[in-house]
Amino acid sequence: MSARERILGKLRAAAVSTAKTLPDVAGWYAGHRPVETAAAKVQRFRQCIELAHAEVHAVTAGNWLNKLAEVLQARQLDQLLVAEGTPHGEQALDVLPRQGVECATYDMAIEAWKTEMFNATPASLTGARAAIAETGTLILWPDALEPRLMSLVPPVHIVLLDATRIYNTFFEAMTLEGWQDGLPTNALLISGPSKTADIQQTLAYGAHGPKELIVLLLDEEKSVIPAPAGIHAAAENLDSRLRGSDVSTAPTEEQQ
């Protein structure tokens, strides 16, 4: 046996003997996080994201476009970038022009209209896939219909969120949304408008993205945004796991 083979043999033997079992993440969350009602999740999400200087408006499937028009009018904006081919984008294209809002669409490669995108697009509307109550975070999955630049470049970013898809924790969101089955090129977590601070701790908004983040929170069962495939079965499985545990709301050593 060569020296190389002896070294490799020792490494392989050590790897087997020191291998550790994977942590039971689901079990930890089941024992350390309370089960919240839908209303409690909505309240906690709103409180957290508003603390980060986002603006939240409760809307319904019947009036969200009117609220959107009000938001734009209050800022004297008459242009909006929307995603053609999405349910909310199509509704905006159908209604907003009659209210004096010019709706542009992201229907070509960015190289063909980069100047207009960066210099003449004051606001955009996108849908949120889900949200996290624990941190007040929006989850966006950009795709060909709603590219990432729609939520990154315009100074005012307006997001339509279905309140029934607000999850307690990031783990709960990943589990119920089926992230293990595949992810997009970019999965965005947004917890407020873009902000940065210099060495003197002077906070500035809009330095690296939208200066304003506005959430239109759909608070009824009927949603404008379709639920991701498989989400209902996953929700039932996780819910039964959590409710089957003796969950304490008192802080533990890991939380302190």
Question: Is residue 237 scored above 70 in pLDDT?
Answer: no
- pLDDT at position 31 is 80
Q: Which fold has domain 34-196+205-242?
A: Rossmann fold (3.40.50)
pLDDT, tens only, 63-79:
999 999 999 999 999 99
Measured at the CA of 172, the angle between CA 166 and CA 177, to 5 degrees, comes to 75
The domain limits of the chain are 34-196+205-242
Q: What is the pTM of this model?
A: 0.78
| pLDDT tens readout for residues 181-196 | 888 888 999 999 998 8
The H or E element containing residue 45 is helix 38-51
Residues 82-113 have pLDDT tens digits of 999 999 999 999 999 999 999 999 988 999 99
Structure tokens at 253: 């050593």
Higher-confidence residue of 173 and 222: namely: 173
Torsion angle defined by CA atoms of residues 73, 78, 80 and 84, in that order, rounded to the nearest 10 degrees: 110
Distance of alpha carbon 118 from alpha carbon 114, whole angstroms = 6
Task: Say if strands 79-82 and 195-197 run parallel, antiparallel, or are unpaired.
Answer: unpaired
How far apart (Å, rounded) are the C-alpha atoms in residues 123 and 193? 13
The CA–CA distances, whole Å, from 11 to 2, 47, 80, 205 equal 14, 52, 60, 52
- The overall longest dimension of the chain from CA atoms, in Å, is 83
48-57 per-position pLDDT tens digit: 999 999 999 9
Task: Please give the Cα distance from 143 to 186 (Å, whole number).
Answer: 9
What's the rounded mean pLDDT across residues 122-143?
95
Segment (H or E) for 9: helix 3-18
Tell me: pLDDT of 202 over 80.
yes
* Contact indicator for 231, 174 with CB cutoff of 8 Å: no
The region, left, alpha or beta by phi > 0 then psi within -120 to 50, assigned to residue 60 is: beta
Q: What is the pLDDT of residues 164-184, one digit of tens each?
A: 999 999 999 999 888 888 888
